[in-house]
Chain A
Amino acid sequence: MTAENAQKISVENRLRQYKKKSQMRTIWNRLKKNRLAIFGLALFLVMLAVVSTADIYYNYEQDAIAQHLSLRFKGPGQTAGHPLGTDQYGRDVLARVIYGGRISMFVGLATICVSLSLGSLIGATAAYYGGKVDNILMRIMDVFLAIPNILMAITLVAAFGTSLLNLILAMGLAGTPKMSRIVRSSVLSIIGTDYIEAARAYGTSDMRIIFRHILPNAMGPILVQATQTVARSVITVSSLSFIGLGISEPTPEWGAMLSAAKSQLRYHPYLAISPGIAIVMVVVSLTLLGDGLRDAMDPRLKN
């Protein structure tokens, strides 16, 4: 009995070892060797950690929202406790940049959830069923692709109204057509393989084949596109806020902060620097990670 158990365990172990050589594992091993990509990943994780623990060292209402008119326009380093200075209402710039990061990163990640789930559904359905379904779905996506991404987001925001949820929805929907194209082509490359044929012969349901067998294996290009989309979303949400169609004062958001800093540009330029650098840091980290992922998925491309 124990011998039998031991044998079973050893078989399981061997299976586990075998499983460890999964696609994701090989990709991670390759990614680990790419210093720039790891730097991007680390930078992003650090920033994520900083913004998500902001409540420990800042008080949102007190530091980022409440106005302290006696402390207006203190430059960086002028007053103790305000390393990046204070803005036109005497609020701490660093606190606002950090809380702004919360919104940007949350919106970026939530947006990709929307476009990823919708795009996967549409793209995978189109590729899997092919023929008429594919044709109709992709022609509809073509229509949406004709509208530049930011215009699409602006349209949807105009219709839904500007709230955080609507912004996420608008940007997520705006990113869906591109995502569904990428999912479609990625799924198409998997669909002819033998194991899908085997699953079909076994009588597996279509939905199970799509979600259990196809999508996990088609994940590579989708993941690359996803990291890029998150980076783009961070820029888009700040652009929308900048032109006054996104998040507005007093909520700290990078685009809204830059919009406010625009009128102070001549005499208080430091207000325009730190939110911009914050955006660049997030986007650079994600772009490096995305590039690294792409190279890791397909080492042939790296040359």
Chain B
Amino acid sequence: MSRYIFRRLLMLVPVVLGVALFIFAVMDFTPGDPAVMILGEGATEAEYAALHVKLGLNDPLLVRYARYIWNALHGDFGVSYRTGLPVFQEIASRLPYTFVLAVVSTIIAVTIGLPVGVFSAVKQYSLSDNFALGCALLLTSMPTFWLAMMLVLGFSMKMRWLPAMGVAGWKNFVLPAIATASSSTASLLRMTRSTMLEVIRQDYIRTARAKGAKESRVIFDHALRNALLPVVTLIGVNFGVALGGTIVIEQVFAIPGLGQLMVNAIRTKDTPMVIASLLFTAVIASLINLLVDILYAYIDPRLRAKFTVAKRRKVSA
């Protein structure tokens, strides 16, 4: 098992380096001179040139990339062009909001989407199945920020139950979490339903029923466990989507998270900030994906077996 985790972690390294190179290269195209951003329009040519040398901007792209990675490995993600403060500090202060929002919304999505999906599959074509599917269709078809606005309209402005913006307390996170969770709940529901429907028709389910197993045992032990692989994978993918989604949701609720930081950085062409915040999001998304995969390999004896067999073969060879 630890070998599997190690190998997966190792596979993450080129992905992260690739993501960093991509973001770095793309940001290189961004128009605007960092020296002008820092010194303002009024400085002399010589001052600009001196700063170019100081920041190492005259080096080729790959040299700057390698230096960036080297510094990043030492915890130095550069200095914001706008504020002059270390980028890492700012990101670290804002990341918790975004991360918590993504985690909570993923939990909401799993606790609602999974059971309702199973129920829908078991009661296929019933009234409640159709109702659940209809809701799921509507939820996936809504932009999350619009749902967020409607929630604010209903629960903050009309009912006055929950605050519309800010981060004063846990109440402030209820609506954002629901809005962020909406589309992943719906996609999880649809995925659970369709894989369950496929599994329910397998021979081993008929066998289990023929043996006289209780219906709940057939559904939860025999069917659900086998239907779980694509569903669990989707949970990992959805976490990344939720991370991206919070960027938009944060704008609605004025949450000072990573998304707001990123959008502001893009608007002001604060390149070090943009690179670092994108990099952090991508790395977190990949790490969660990895975590989900590992968790799954841990749960699923088939995957575990596959791995131990591979190891044994290597020993004999």
Using a CB–CB cutoff of 8 Å, the interface residues on chain A facing chain B are 139-140, 142-144, 146-151, 154-161, 231, 235, 238-239, 242-245, 255, 258, 261-262, 265-266, 269, 272, 275-276, 279-280, 283-284, 287-288, 301, 303
Cβ contacts under 8 Å, A287 to chain B = 137, 140-141
Known contacts A146-B19, A161-B31, A284-B141; A272 and B247 CB within 8 A of each other? no
Q: Which of A159, A258, A266 has the most CB of B within 10 A?
A: A159
Q: Report yes or no: B157 in contact with A266, Cβ–Cβ below 8 A.
A: yes
Q: B22 to A159, Cβ gap below 8 A?
A: no
Knowing A154-B262, A276-B142, A276-B150, the reply to whether A242 touches B248 (Cβ < 8 A) is yes
Q: A148-B241, A156-B26 are in contact. Are A239 and B278 (CB under 8 A)?
A: no
Inter-chain contacts of B31 with A (CB < 8 A):
161
Docked pose: A88 CA to B138 CA in angstroms: 29
B57 contacts the other chain (Cβ, under 8 Å)? Answer: no
How many angstroms between the C-alpha atoms of A236 and B3 in the bound complex? 39
> Given that A140-B18, A155-B23, A245-B266 are contacting pairs, would A235 and B153 also be in contact in the complex, using a CB cutoff of 8 Å?
no
Complex Cα spacing A139 to B146, Å: 36
The answer to whether B243 has its CB under 8 Å from any CB of chain A is: yes
A144, A244, A269, A272: which contacts B22 (Cβ < 8 A)? A144
Q: Which of A139, A149, A155 has the most CB of B within 10 A?
A: A155
For this complex, 19 residue pairs linking A to B, each with C-beta atoms less than 8 Å apart, are A147-B285, A148-B244, A148-B285, A150-B248, A151-B282, A158-B26, A158-B266, A158-B274, A159-B27, A238-B143, A242-B145, A242-B248, A245-B267, A265-B152, A272-B149, A272-B153, A279-B143, A303-B124, A303-B197
CA distance A269 to B140 in the complex (A): 22
Q: Which one of B19, B30, B141 has the greatest number of beta carbons of chain A within 10 Å?
A: B141
B281 engages A148 (CB within 8 Å): yes
Q: Is the CB–CB distance between A154 and B247 below 8 Å?
A: yes
Q: State the CA gap A283–B140 with chains docked (Å).
A: 8
Q: Report Cα–Cα, A269/B146, bound state, in Å.
A: 12
Q: Once the chains are docked, how many angstroms separate the CA of A266 from the CA of B198? A: 47
Q: Provided the pairs A155-B26, A243-B263 are in contact, do residues A146 and B143 lie with their beta carbons within 8 angstroms?
A: no
Residue of A nearest to B251 (CB): A243
The reply on B72 being an interface residue by CB < 8 A is: no
Known contacts: A159-B26, A243-B251. The answer to whether A276 contacts B146 by CB under 8 A is: yes
CB distance from B26 to the nearest CB of A (A): 4
Q: Which residues of B contact A265 (CB under 8 A)?
A: 149, 152-153, 157
**B226: A residues at CB distance < 8 A:** none
B37 to chain A, nearest CB (A): 14
Which of chain A's residues has its CB closest to B286's CB?
A146
Across the interface, do B143 and A150 meet the contact criterion of CB distance under 8 Å? no
A contact residues around B244 at 8 Å (CB): 148-151
**Contacts of A151 on B, CB cut-off 8 Å?**
243-244, 247, 278, 281-282
Rounded to whole Å, the gap between the CB of B310 and the closest CB of chain A is 19
Q: Report whether over half of chain A's contact residues are helix, strand or loop; otherwise say mixed.
A: helix
Cβ of B266: which chain A residues have Cβ within 8 Å of it? 154, 157-158, 245
Nearest B residue to A139 by beta-carbon distance? B14
Q: How far is the CA of A140 from the CA of B198 in the complex (A)?
A: 33
CA distance A243 to B87 in the complex (A): 22
- B35 at interface (Cβ–Cβ under 8 A)? no
Docked CA distance A110–B146 (Å): 24
Q: Is the CB of B15 within 8 A of A146?
A: yes
Is B240 among interface residues, defined by CB-CB distance under 8 A? yes
Interface assignment of B228: CB less than 8 Å from any CB of chain A: no
B194 contacts chain A at the CB level, 8 A cutoff: yes
- A149 contact set on B, CB distance < 8 A: 241, 244
B107 CB within 8 Å of chain A: no
A239 near B143 (CB under 8 angstroms)?
yes
Question: In the complex, what distance in Å separates the CA atom of A261 from the CA atom of B248?
Answer: 15
Q: What CA separation (Å) do A245 and B31 show in the bound complex?
A: 15
Q: A150-B244, A244-B263, A276-B149 are in contact. List 17 more A-B contacts (CB 8 A).
A: A143-B18, A143-B22, A148-B241, A151-B244, A158-B266, A159-B26, A239-B145, A243-B259, A243-B263, A255-B143, A269-B157, A279-B142, A283-B140, A283-B142, A287-B141, A288-B137, A303-B197
Which partner residue on chain B sits nearest A158 by CB separation? B266
Q: How far is the CB of B180 from chain A (nearest CB, A)?
A: 12
B257 close to A (CB within 8 Å): no
B285 CB contact (under 8 Å) in A146, A272, A275 = A146
Q: CB within 8 Å of A: which of B108-149?
A: 124, 137-138, 140-146, 149
A243–B143 touching, CB < 8 Å:
no
